[in-house]
Amino acid sequence: KGGVPTIACASRLTEMVQGLTVADALTIRRDAIIESLDGLPPASHHAAQLAVDALRASLQAAHPQERGTLAAPRIYVADAGFY
């Protein structure tokens, strides 16, 4: 149950954050991911939260000084070529 929704949410989140500032990326909520995927079964909503939590943890670890800063660096996602 968790594998496909988790991958879908993480993949969509990488598309959503591309080009955003760190501050803007930190505002993305679980519901925005679910909506952008045209919904998920209620039992899979945790997959969207997991993606958001992972993003926040990684951004806060990489850019602790940027929290809430309007001039924060933009996020660029490299294509790893895994399809």
pLDDT at 8: 95
pLDDT at 79: 53
Average pLDDT of the residues of the chain: 82
Residue 75 pLDDT more than 50? yes
pLDDT at 70: 40
Rounded Cα–Cα distance for residues 24 and 22 (Å): 5
Flag whether the pTM goes above 0.85.
Answer: no
Task: Report, as an integer, the average pLDDT of 56-64.
Answer: 83
- Give residues with Cβ within 8 angstroms of 28, minimum separation 6: 13, 16, 17, 52, 55
Rounded Cα–Cα distance for residues 30 and 9 (Å): 9
pLDDT at 59: 86
